[in-house]
C-alpha cells in the first residue's frame, strides 16, 4: 500500500499529481501534425460527419465531464449536444436514432446503469462511442468505437485524473469533429490543440500551489454547507467541485448557475456559508462578479478563482486564486486541480478517510 502510494499520504493526492502525465499519455499518441487523429483508435471520420446530434450519457464525475464537454462542443459544432444521467436515460424514450452519436463516458467501463443506457442507445440505432479508462471493460467491448483514456489505475474512490483525461479525450473529439465537419480550418484546429496542451503546465502550476490551497480550507472545514457558483463553462466545472467536496469532506455543497442564485437560493447565503466562485469565462466575467457582490453583501466568505490577469476591485473576494492565463475553454484543467485540492484538504483536515469515503464505491454495478 505504502509503496503503491509512492511517497504520497493518500492515493487521491498521488492521483491529483499524476494528472499532467495522464493528460500527455492521453493526448500525445493521438496527435498527428498537431491535429487530433483517431486512426489508431479505429474511429473513422464518418462517425463524426454522419450524425446530426450528440447525446452524452454517464454517471457521477464522468457525467460532469460530459456537462463540461457539452458546453464546449455545442457552440463549436452547432448541433444539439445533450447530456443525460445514465440511470435516468435508460428508462426514458430518448429522441435518438441513426442520426445520433451517443458518447458513453466511464472510468471503469463497468457501471451498470451506463452499460444499460448504451445498450438502449444501440437498440435505437445510434452509434455508440465510449470514452473508457479500463482496457477491455464491458462498455469498451460492447460499444461500436472506443477512445481509451490513459489515466492508469485510479484507486481513490473520488475520481480525479480519470475526470481530466475524459475531458481531454472529449475536447479532442470536439476538435476532430469541428475539423471534419468544416467548422474549423486546419490552423484553427491546430491552435485548439496547442491550447489544450497549454492546459498541462497550467495544471502543474496549480499543483505547485497546493500549500496555499491547504491553508484556505480552514475557512471550510467547520462549515456544514458551501456553494459553488459560475456561469457557462464555469458552472459546468463547479458541478464537479461541489460533488468532490460532498463525497469526501461530507460538507453539503451545491453548485449553482451564478445568475440563478437570486431566484430563491440566495436566501441560504449567510456568514456561515462559504461561496467558491469561478469566473474564467470572459463573456460572462462581469456578470459573475456582480453575482459575487450579491453573496458578499449577505456576508458570505468568498473564495474566487479567476485567470491571473483578471482585474478585480478590492474586497470582491476574501481569497483570490489565480490560474494561469489560458484559453477560456481550457480553464477546466487547472480549475479541476484547485477544486480537487480543496476537497482533498477539507477531508484530510477533518481526519476523514479520503480514499475510502463512507457509503461510496469505486465502481457501481447495482441498479
Q: Which residues bind ligand G6P (CB under 6 A)?
A: 59-62, 106-108, 111, 114, 157, 159, 360-364
- Please give the residue whose beta carbon sits closest to ligand G6P in the complex: 60
Q: HEC states along 261-278?
A: CCCCHHHHCCCCCCEEEE
35-36/31-32 β-pairing: antiparallel
Nearest alpha carbon to residue 193 among 327, 325, 74, 34:
34
Please state the closest distance from residue 275 (CB atom) to ligand G6P, in A.
24
**Spatial separation of the C-alpha atoms in residues 261 and 302, rounded to whole Å:** 15
Please state the closest distance from residue 289 (CB atom) to ligand G6P, in A.
31
For 156, the grid coordinates are 481513490
Would you say 312 and 320 are in contact if contact means Cβ atoms under 8 Å apart? yes
**Spatial separation of the C-alpha atoms in residues 321 and 308, rounded to whole Å:** 8
DSSP label at 254?
A: E
Nearest alpha carbon to residue 334 among 241, 243, 250, 253:
241
**Spatial separation of the C-alpha atoms in residues 54 and 67, rounded to whole Å:** 12
Please state the closest distance from residue 159 (CB atom) to ligand G6P, in A.
4
Choose between 312 and 361: whose C-beta lies nearer to ligand G6P.
Answer: 361
Choose between 249 and 306: whose C-beta lies nearer to ligand G6P.
Answer: 249
Please state the closest distance from residue 244 (CB atom) to ligand G6P, in A.
9
Beta bridge partners of 256: 229
Choose between 60 and 334: whose C-beta lies nearer to ligand G6P.
Answer: 60
Choose between 113 and 234: whose C-beta lies nearer to ligand G6P.
Answer: 113
Choose between 87 and 281: whose C-beta lies nearer to ligand G6P.
Answer: 87
Please state the closest distance from residue 155 (CB atom) to ligand G6P, in A.
12
For 161, the grid coordinates are 485524473
Please state the closest distance from residue 120 (CB atom) to ligand G6P, in A.
16
Choose between 107 and 306: whose C-beta lies nearer to ligand G6P.
Answer: 107
Amino acid at each position: 500500500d505504502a509503496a503503491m502510494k509512492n511517497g504520497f499520504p493518500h492515493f487521491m493526492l498521488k492521483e491529483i499529481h499524476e494528472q499532467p502525465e495522464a493528460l500527455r499519455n492521453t493526448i500525445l499518441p493521438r496527435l498527428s501534425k498537431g491535429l487530433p487523429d483517431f486512426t489508431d483508435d479505429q474511429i473513422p471520420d464518418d462517425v463524426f460527419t454522419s450524425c446530426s446530434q450528440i447525446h452524452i450519457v454517464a454517471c457521477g464525475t464522468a457525467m460532469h465531464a460530459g456537462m463540461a464537454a457539452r458546453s464546449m462542443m455545442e457552440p463549436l459544432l452547432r448541433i444539439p449536444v445533450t447530456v443525460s444521467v445514465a440511470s435516468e436515460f435508460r428508462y426514458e424514450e430518448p429522441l435518438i436514432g441513426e442520426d445520433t452519436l451517443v458518447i458513453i463516458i466511464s472510468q471503469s467501463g463497468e457501471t451498470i446503469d451506463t452499460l444499460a443506457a448504451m445498450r438502449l442507445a444501440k437498440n435505437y440505432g445510434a452509434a455508440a462511442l465510449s470514452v473508457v479508462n479500463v482496457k477491455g471493460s464491458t462498455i469498451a467491448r460492447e460499444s461500436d468505437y472506443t477512445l481509451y483514456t490513459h489515466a492508469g489505475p485510479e484507486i481513490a474512490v473520488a475520481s480525479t485524473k480519470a475526470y481530466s483525461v475524459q475531458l481531454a479525450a472529449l475536447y479532442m473529439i470536439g476538435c476532430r469533429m469541428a475539423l471534419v465537419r468544416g467548422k474549423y480550418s486546419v490552423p484553427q484546429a491546430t491552435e485548439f490543440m496547442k491550447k489544450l496542451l497549454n492546459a498541462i503546465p497550467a495544471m502543474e502550476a496549480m499543483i505547485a500551489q497546493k500549500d496555499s490551497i491547504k491553508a484556505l480550507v480552514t475557512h471550510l472545514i467547520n462549515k456544514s454547507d458551501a456553494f459553488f457558483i459560475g456561469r457557462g463553462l464555469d458552472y459546468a466545472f463547479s458541478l464537479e467541485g461541489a460533488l468532490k467536496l460532498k463525497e469526501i469532506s461530507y460538507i453539503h455543497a451545491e453548485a449553482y448557475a451564478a445568475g440563478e442564485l437570486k431566484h430563491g437560493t440566495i436566501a441560504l447565503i449567510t456568514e456561515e456559508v462559504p461561496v467558491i466562485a469561478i469566473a474564467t469565462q470572459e463573456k460572462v466575467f462581469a456578470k459573475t462578479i456582480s453575482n459575487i457582490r450579491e453573496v458578499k453583501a449577505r456576508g458570505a466568505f468568498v473564495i474566487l478563482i479567476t485567470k491571473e490577469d483578471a482585474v478585480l476591485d478590492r474586497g470582491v473576494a476574501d481569497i483570490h486564486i489565480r490560474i494561469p492565463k489560458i484559453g477560456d475553454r481550457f480553464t477546466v484543467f487547472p480549475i479541476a486541480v484547485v477544486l480537487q485540492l480543496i476537497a482533498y484538504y477539507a477531508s484530510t483536515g477533518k481526519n476523514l478517510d479520503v480514499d475510502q469515503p463512507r457509503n461510496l464505491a469505486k465502481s457501481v454495478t447495482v441498479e
